[in-house]
Chains A and B, each alone.
Chain A
């Protein structure tokens, strides 16, 4: 299959592509097996009364999520979002226009939950829920990476990601789940991380890393695991433990803690920063997966919780952890659940903190020293990851999530270039593999969805000789490593911000 996949051509002039109805019709990631489904408490296969159950589930979600309810009502079909999705730009399939993607669900909402839809379905674009519609949901709600780019441009902030999450939750509830995401969630619960890396393997990996760094630098940089009473608990995506180029950033974090003299630890129980509960829209799963981190923090007695380079993990940590687990500040005095943990944490620091916030703070206080010449062979650009850019913040300032990583890069390297401003900061394009789509059975979509980012990269590669694209997301790193070659780039062009820090940091001088 992989050999048939080719990258779409770059657009010579960046015009909005014409629509090609049906271009991606029938694309269908592997369906979860009964074992995978049942492990999460979902029906093993499509239930007989799926129609009734799907409608009932939709009704339930409408009473639980204001976002869904308002978004399904408020859209005026103005079309402002219609050319904003990277999957539309890359595939030209009109059902990948954010508004059309919402309409797949909205049409059914209208039919069963609104008076005009019940009386005059044709007039208002309402449809019966049929098996064809259900299949269409499965297909097109797995062609959305929940990147929120559309919500930036919508006059009402309608976030298609919320609609996609609701649709996936409905699909799961009738036994029509996606293999990739649900299998991974099963692994987190069973083994502790998305990659299914068991405790002993983790210990081995970390020991190996200590040896590598020693060989490289002559210095004993530790990668501690399950250290009781450490100051910092680091939660990072499990890809950081062994995937390339992720691992280079893990080395970077360790060097930062080492150079600053901060005691830190990883946890074998919470050896995963990612939280795929977000992708399938399940509050229950989101919460269960996040609670592991609360438990680890309580058990280890840590004072600070720091999150590594992972986009959606940071959104979940920054925006949702306080809600889900109490990791944060400002709980009500009567809120015993949250206070139990909040009392333990040191509120001179933000809880949780992003590793970039930690590093930037240390750089500013001159608690660590960087030698930017170490990165002189690189001309660097920065790819903003969607969940960081549009679903979180860093520091005290609005937009700190854009400034802090860039400031670190500027401190760690001498050559930094921005990509086209229509493709950075809150307008950044998804890498093409986010939101639970980072699976080989969706390779064609992933390659096409990367088009807008690749075009922007090509521009700076040609003009400014950019040869390194830094990013702070595990999914972005994996996706680009796979996809860059389709566009004629070297797969090693992508890497983490802390990979640059790792190259530049001075060890053993303080």
Chain B
């Protein structure tokens, strides 16, 4: 079992890092030939950084767009962020002090994450417009995340897991010094398998919204076309031909 999970996690990690890395490279190399920020837009790089900060941390545009989606989505992402930060303790030794500080929020974050996801799922089922655009994969993605959260919480409330052992296993994986995975707990296997699935799906799915946001021309381009000439390489060739 330990060997199987070791292999799965190497594959999943490779897939996640390689896949997302490739996507980022691919986005970065694709030119944006015209200046197309959605205006009113900041005119300077600093202004754009501030706009992006508000988008990433507060989901500003979504707030304007749909209050319900914003509320559930924001709760979900904030909880997810807390949960992931809390999880860093499995991968660091000694545990960073700020990771220590978020530990008490873990259970609440797990629960509010489920709440947020359930709200988002509710919209998919009950709002006719959102139901119309939902594909099976949209539902599955929400289901997957809810199951991850439920299995994680179960380890906390129902069937305690040997956290020290889990940590030893993952610390070992990172330095190629393999350690056994605690064998007593079925829920742990479920949690880990689902997480591995999520990591593998990430670079092939709509989860690309996370890196995509940073490459969205309508958000990250400064509004300065009159002040500075912007020409993409393929368009510049047309001028050379003349």
Q: Footprint of B on A, CB under 8 Å?
A: 16, 18-19, 21, 62-67, 69-71, 73-84, 94, 97, 99-100, 103, 114-116, 122-125, 148, 151-159, 162, 283, 287, 318-320, 322-323, 326, 328-332, 335, 337-338, 350-352, 389-393, 398-399, 401-402, 426
Known contacts A74-B209, A77-B206, A352-B226; decide if A116 and B216 are in contact (CB<8 Å).
Answer: no
Known contacts A77-B135, A79-B127, A153-B65; decide if A67 and B32 are in contact (CB<8 Å).
Answer: yes
Q: Which residues of B contact A18 (CB under 8 A)?
A: 128
The answer to whether B217 touches A66 (Cβ under 8 A) is: yes
Looking at the complex, which of B37-45, B97-105, B107-115 is the stretch in contact with chain A?
B37-45
The answer to whether A329 touches B227 (Cβ under 8 A) is: yes
Closest-CB distance, A472 to chain B (whole angstroms): 15
The answer to whether B129 touches A94 (Cβ under 8 A) is: yes
B93 CB-CB contact with A under 8 Å: no
Closest-CB distance, B20 to chain A (whole angstroms): 11
The answer to whether B34 touches A320 (Cβ under 8 A) is: yes
Closest-CB distance, B62 to chain A (whole angstroms): 4
Q: Which residues of B contact A79 (CB under 8 A)?
A: 66, 69, 123, 127, 129-130, 133
The answer to whether B133 touches A398 (Cβ under 8 A) is: no
Q: Which of A63, A94, A323, A399 contacts B229, CB < 8 Å? A: A323
Closest-CB distance, A119 to chain B (whole angstroms): 10
CA distance A69 to B216 in the complex (A): 9
The answer to whether A116 touches B38 (Cβ under 8 A) is: no
Closest-CB distance, A116 to chain B (whole angstroms): 5
Closest-CB distance, B203 to chain A (whole angstroms): 9
CA distance A480 to B114 in the complex (A): 49
The answer to whether A159 touches B225 (Cβ under 8 A) is: no
The answer to whether A82 touches B225 (Cβ under 8 A) is: no
Instruction: Name the CB-closest residue of A to B239.
Output: A337
Instruction: Name the CB-closest residue of B to A396.
Output: B43
The answer to whether B39 touches A389 (Cβ under 8 A) is: yes
Known contacts A156-B213, A159-B218; decide if A322 and B135 are in contact (CB<8 Å).
Answer: no
The answer to whether A390 touches B39 (Cβ under 8 A) is: yes
The answer to whether B129 touches A97 (Cβ under 8 A) is: yes
The answer to whether A399 touches B133 (Cβ under 8 A) is: no
B189 CB-CB contact with A under 8 Å: no
Q: Which of B33, B65, B228 contacts A154, CB < 8 Å? A: B65
| Best-buried of A19, A70, A156, A159 by chain B (most CB within 10 Å) | A70
Taken residue by residue from 149 to 183, chain B's Cβ proximity to chain A (1 for < 8 Å, 0 otherwise) reads as: 00000000000000000000000000000000000
B147 CB-CB contact with A under 8 Å: no
Q: Which residues of B contact A322 (CB under 8 A)?
A: 225-226, 228-230
Taken residue by residue from 55 to 69, chain B's Cβ proximity to chain A (1 for < 8 Å, 0 otherwise) reads as: 100010110111001
| Best-buried of A77, A94, A318 by chain B (most CB within 10 Å) | A77
Closest-CB distance, A168 to chain B (whole angstroms): 16
The answer to whether B66 touches A153 (Cβ under 8 A) is: yes
B91 CB-CB contact with A under 8 Å: no
Closest-CB distance, A312 to chain B (whole angstroms): 13
Instruction: Name the CB-closest residue of B to A115.
Output: B204
User: 14 other contacts beyond A79-B123, A153-B62, A329-B227, with CB at 8 A cut-off?
Assistant: A78-B69, A80-B66, A82-B133, A122-B136, A148-B218, A155-B65, A158-B216, A283-B34, A320-B34, A323-B34, A331-B229, A335-B231, A390-B39, A393-B223
CA distance A159 to B133 in the complex (A): 17
Q: Which residues of B contact A391 (CB under 8 A)?
A: 36, 38-39
Known contacts A80-B62, A398-B40, A398-B43; decide if A155 and B30 are in contact (CB<8 Å).
Answer: no
Closest-CB distance, B103 to chain A (whole angstroms): 30
CA distance A401 to B38 in the complex (A): 13
Q: Which residues of A contact B59 (CB under 8 A)?
A: 155
Taken residue by residue from 12 to 38, chain B's Cβ proximity to chain A (1 for < 8 Å, 0 otherwise) reads as: 000000000001001100111111101
Q: Which of B27, B70, B212, B231 contacts A156, CB < 8 Å? A: B212
Q: Which of B38, B47, B208 contacts A151, CB < 8 Å? A: B38
Closest-CB distance, B127 to chain A (whole angstroms): 7
CA distance A82 to B129 in the complex (A): 7
Q: Which residues of A contact B38 (CB under 8 A)?
A: 148, 151-152, 157, 159, 390-391, 426
Closest-CB distance, A167 to chain B (whole angstroms): 17
The answer to whether B226 touches A76 (Cβ under 8 A) is: no
Closest-CB distance, A15 to chain B (whole angstroms): 12
Q: Which of B39, B47, B234 contacts A64, CB < 8 Å? A: B234
CA distance A97 to B66 in the complex (A): 14
B134 CB-CB contact with A under 8 Å: yes
CA distance A21 to B132 in the complex (A): 9
The answer to whether B216 touches A393 (Cβ under 8 A) is: no
Q: Which residues of A contact B242 (CB under 8 A)?
A: 337
| Best-buried of A63, A155, A337, A351 by chain B (most CB within 10 Å) | A155
The answer to whether A392 touches B39 (Cβ under 8 A) is: yes
Instruction: Name the CB-closest residue of A to B55.
Output: A155
CA distance A392 to B41 in the complex (A): 9
Q: Which residues of B contact A73 (CB under 8 A)?
A: 23, 206, 208-209, 212
CA distance A401 to B66 in the complex (A): 26
Closest-CB distance, B214 to chain A (whole angstroms): 9
Closest-CB distance, B46 to chain A (whole angstroms): 13
Instruction: Name the CB-closest residue of B to A73.
Output: B208
CA distance A184 to B212 in the complex (A): 36
The answer to whether B219 touches A156 (Cβ under 8 A) is: yes
The answer to whether B30 touches A65 (Cβ under 8 A) is: yes
Q: Which residues of B contact A426 (CB under 8 A)?
A: 38-40
Q: Which residues of A contact B123 (CB under 8 A)?
A: 79
Q: Which of B26, B62, B132, B135 contacts A94, CB < 8 Å? A: B132
